[in-house]
């Protein structure tokens, strides 16, 4: 019934307003859940249309009742509301305002549309009340999201950059410093993977909320992403020094964070710091540099702070460049293998060759594996490089075998990352089968670093390999833990004594004693020995004297191309 009356009223109003302006028309058509106060200037009468009762529990009969309307809203809006309600002669344009109801979270949009006759005399006025609470909340949320991070209540990244830029401008103006701290929670991945994402989220939130307590007019803090936060400190000296902030963070991290379900966690963080004016003079670079040096803190054992240092930046940029070169080389197949022969001391015969990879630069020069392997290990491309070395060296070996009937050993360096891949053994066996090369002729050079983690798995794989007849050689012995007891029980065939030992030969007696006892002990344990980096005749003579089995080094041959090695084979036949 109400609905019908409402429609009827509307029609009446519309008919009456046929000649009136567009605004009026719009206001009436857009009626959903609105209340209308309709005023006829000629008759001096008010009518109430639409959902009036939804908005107010009183009627408007005379102008005096305007007070009741005004009274329904927060005081601060009184002036605006009165303006709208009394809109007439002078107000040819629509008047409107967003106003809040008294003692409630409800927001209304009030709008006045006045129509005039040809002389410009006002004839009718419609005041429309509309509930805009939902839109208002949504807008506020959007605004909040644009500036703040929902989980932590800290600034979001973009807003941080803008606020920190202002602080930087202020620092420049006042010849002050501005420090940017890039903060990353240690082992967050383990927390997230091990305890679940909800715990991870809570950690992000709890730590962020703690950081928020450090904020003031001169310290702005943001949640960048995941477990990463960024802080800018204006005039970072004295009581607001980076050190004092770092101390506060460390103190808090040492105490447990209490999470739901009685989960308690202590945290540690790595922080990189870059300061204006020393490091850079724009905010983006300060943030980038702080991030770069933060990684240095991660590398050097976590739970640490690292200040900006040009040398770190240089290393980072070089690494970045090398990374690019590696990717290009992989795409263009720009790797080649050199082979360095090893000789048995007593007989002078070739015991085998070590395959050593090189990367071809675009200018044609060769890049040393010492420069690119560590970076390839970090970004995982070592697996692709290793696959190439494996296939190419075995293929070449098969070619020599077919042509010259050689049967020496082929030693291949294997990175721990490559070795630990689940399909390592099957890939290796497939290559050997493809080129019909006997596993007994293959020696894998592993470094002690492979033994550090997941010892059980590493051991099992070694036994599997040795079951197939593949030999394992421990490379660079003497540079790592060098504990022979560590090696007990592992199916290791050969020990390669590092060049650093050979370097001490002839220098002093005590080092020679060590060299001698290593060779003696190694042989007693049943390992074959290869001394690396032999450059002089004296070294060779000495090694022969102490019964070292084999030598490898520039004295007898540098690593050479496969064609050069072929010549060597031909000469030795």
CB 41 within 8 A of CB 55: no
The yes or no reply on residue 554 touching ligand C2E (CB under 6 A) is: yes
Any contact of residue 500 with ligand C2E (CB under 6 A)?
no
Site string for ligand C2E, 332-371 (x = CB under 6 A): --------x---------------xx----------xxx-
Place of tokens 């980038």: 288
What Rg value do the Cα atoms of the chain yield, rounded? 40
Question: Does residue number 448 form part of the binding site for Mg ion (CB under 5 A)?
Answer: no
Contact flag: residue 201 with ligand C2E (CB under 6 A):
no
Question: Per CB under 6 A, which of residues 22..51 are in contact with ligand C2E?
Answer: none
The interface region with ligand C2E, picked from 158-166, 420-428, 509-517, 530-538 by CB under 6 A, is 530-538
The Cα 58–Cα 72 span in angstroms is 11
Q: How far is the CB of 556 from ligand C2E (least distance, A)?
A: 9
**CB pairs under 8 A, 24+ apart, for 295-303?**
296/272, 297/270, 297/271, 297/272, 298/184, 298/186, 298/270, 302/186, 302/187, 302/268, 302/270, 303/186, 303/268, 303/269, 303/270
Which segments of 226-363 are extended strands (E)? Answer: 228-234, 257-258, 264-265, 269-276, 305-307, 335-344, 350-360
389 is an interface residue for ligand C2E by CB under 6 A:
yes
Binding residues with ligand C2E: total (CB under 6 A): 24
Query: What residues numbered 104-143 form the site for Mg ion, per CB under 5 A?
Result: none
Sign of CA dihedral 564, 568, 571, 573: negative
Q: What are phi and psi of 46, to 5 degrees?
A: -105, 140
Interaction of residue 443 with Mg ion, rule CB under 5 A:
no
CB of 205 or CB of 557, closer to ligand C2E? 557
Residue 278: name its binding partner from Mg ion, ligand C2E, none (Cβ under 5 to 8 Å by kind): none
Contact of residue 356 among Mg ion, ligand C2E, none (CB under 5-8 Å per partner type): ligand C2E
| Smallest gap from residue 476 Cβ to Mg ion (A) | 4
Q: Residue 534 interacts with ligand C2E (CB under 6 A)?
A: yes
Options 192, 413, 522, 539; binder of ligand C2E; rule CB under 6 A: 413
Query: Torsions phi, psi of 68, nearest 5?
Result: -65, -40
**Applying CB under 5 A, which of residues 149, 291, 476, 528 lies at the interface with Mg ion?**
476
Least separation in angstroms between residue 266's CB and ligand C2E is 37
Query: Cis omega before residue 277 (within 30°)?
Result: yes
SS3 443: strand
Q: Which of 426, 389, 430, 431 is nearest to 411 (CA)?
A: 389
Answer for which of 186, 202, 291, 475 binds Mg ion (CB under 5 A) is 475
Q: Could you please report the per-residue DSSP string of 65-98?
A: GHHHHHHTB-GGGHHHHHHHHT--TT--S-EEEE
Q: Is 445 in the site for Mg ion (CB under 5 A)?
A: yes
| Residue closer to ligand C2E, measured from CB, 177 or 415 | 415
Which residues, in sequence order, are CB contacts of 484 under 8 Å at separation 6+? 521, 522, 525
Q: Which is nearer to ligand C2E, 236 or 340 (CB)?
A: 340
Q: Which of residues 408-437 bind Mg ion (CB under 5 A)?
A: 413
Q: Is 272 in the site for ligand C2E (CB under 6 A)?
A: no
Partners of 221 in beta bridges: 231
Shortest separation between residue 319's beta carbon and ligand C2E, angstroms: 17
Residue 13 interacts, among ligand C2E, Mg ion, none and using kind-specific CB cut-offs from 5 to 8 Å, with none
Per-position DSSP letters for 503-522, written without gaps between them: TTTTT-HHHHHHHHHHHHHH
- Identify which range of 66-74, 97-105, 119-127, 527-535 contacts ligand C2E by CB under 6 A: 527-535
Decide which of ligand C2E, Mg ion, none touches 554; Cβ closer than 5 to 8 Å per partner kind.
Answer: ligand C2E
Query: Whole-number minimum distance, CB 356 to Mg ion, in Å?
Result: 7
Question: Residue 158, Cβ neighbours under 10 Å: how many?
Answer: 11
SS3 332: coil
Cβ partners under 8 Å of residue 214, min gap 6: 221, 231, 245, 248, 249
Residue 152 vs 473, nearer CB to ligand C2E: 473
Which residue, 494, 439, 488, 448, is CA-closest to 472?
A: 494
List contacts with ligand C2E (CB under 6 A).
340, 356-357, 368-370, 373, 386, 389, 413-415, 445, 475-476, 499, 532-535, 552-554, 559
List contacts with Mg ion (CB under 5 A).
413, 445, 475-476, 532
């Amino acid at each position: 019934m109400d609905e019908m009356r409402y429609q009827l009223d509307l029609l009446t109003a519309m008919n009456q307003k046929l000649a009136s302006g567009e605004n009026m028309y719009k206001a009436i058509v857009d009626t959903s859940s609105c209340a209308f106060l309709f005023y006829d200037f000629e008759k001096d009468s008010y009518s109430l249309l639409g959902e009036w009762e939804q908005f107010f529990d009183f009627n408007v009969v005379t102008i005096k009742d305007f007070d009741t309307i005004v009274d329904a809203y927060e005081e601060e809006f009184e002036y605006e509301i009165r303006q709208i309600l009394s809109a007439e002669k002078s107000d040819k344009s629509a008047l409107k305002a967003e106003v809040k109801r008294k003692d409630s979270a409800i927001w209304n949009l009030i709008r006045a549309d006045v129509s005039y006759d040809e002389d410009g005399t006002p004839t009718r006025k419609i005041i429309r009340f509309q509930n805009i609470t939902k839109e208002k909340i949504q807008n506020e949320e959007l605004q909040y999201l644009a500036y703040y991070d929902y989980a932590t209540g800290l600034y979001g990244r973009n807003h941080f950059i803008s606020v920190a830029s202002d602080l930087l401008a202020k620092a420049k103006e006042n010849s002050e410093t501005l420090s940017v701290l890039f903060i990353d929670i240690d082992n967050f991945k383990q927390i997230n993977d091990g305890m679940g994402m909800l715990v991870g989220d809570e950690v992000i939130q709890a730590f962020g909320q703690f950081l928020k307590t450090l904020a003031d007019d001169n310290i702005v803090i943001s949640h960048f992403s995941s477990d990463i936060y960024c802080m800018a400190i204006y005039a970072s000296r004295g009581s607001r020094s980076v050190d004092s902030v770092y101390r506060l963070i460390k103190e808090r991290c040492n105490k447990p964070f209490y999470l739901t379900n009685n989960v308690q966690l202590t945290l540690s963080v790595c922080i990189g710091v870059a300061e204006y004016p020393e490091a850079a003079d724009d905010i983006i670079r300060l943030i980038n540099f702080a991030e770069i040096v933060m990684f240095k803190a991660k590398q050097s054992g976590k739970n640490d702070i690292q200040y900006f240092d040009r040398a770190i930046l240089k290393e980072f940029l070089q690494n970045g460049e090398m990374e690019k070169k590696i990717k290009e080389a992989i795409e263009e197949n720009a790797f080649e293998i050199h082979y360095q022969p090893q000789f048995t001391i007593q007989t002078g015969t070739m015991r085998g060759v070590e395959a050593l990879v090189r990367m071809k630069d675009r200018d044609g020069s060769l890049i040393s594996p010492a420069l690119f392997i560590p970076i390839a290990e970090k970004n995982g491309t070592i697996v692709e490089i290793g696959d190439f070395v494996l296939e190419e060296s075995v293929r070449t070996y098969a070619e020599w075998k077919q042509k010259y009937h050689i049967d020496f050993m082929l030693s291949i360096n294997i990175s721990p990352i490559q070795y630990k891949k689940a399909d390592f053994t099957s890939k290796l066996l497939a290559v050997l089968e493809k080129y019909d090369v006997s596993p007994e002729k293959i020696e894998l050079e592993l470094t002690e670093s492979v033994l550090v983690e997941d010892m059980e798995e590493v051991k099992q794989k070694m036994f599997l390999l040795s079951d197939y007849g593949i030999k394992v050689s421990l490379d660079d012995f003497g540079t790592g833990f060098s504990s022979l007891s560590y090696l007990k029980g592992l199916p290791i065939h050969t020990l390669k004594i590092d060049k650093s030992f050979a370097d001490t030969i002839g220098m002093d007696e005590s080092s020679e004693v060590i060299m001698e006892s290593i060779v003696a002990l190694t042989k007693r344990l049943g390992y074959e020995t290869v001394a690396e980096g032999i450059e002089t005749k004296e070294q060779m003579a000495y090694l022969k004297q102490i019964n070292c089995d084999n030598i490898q080094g520039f004295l007898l041959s540098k690593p050479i191309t496969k064609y050069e090695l072929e010549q060597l084979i031909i000469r030795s036949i």
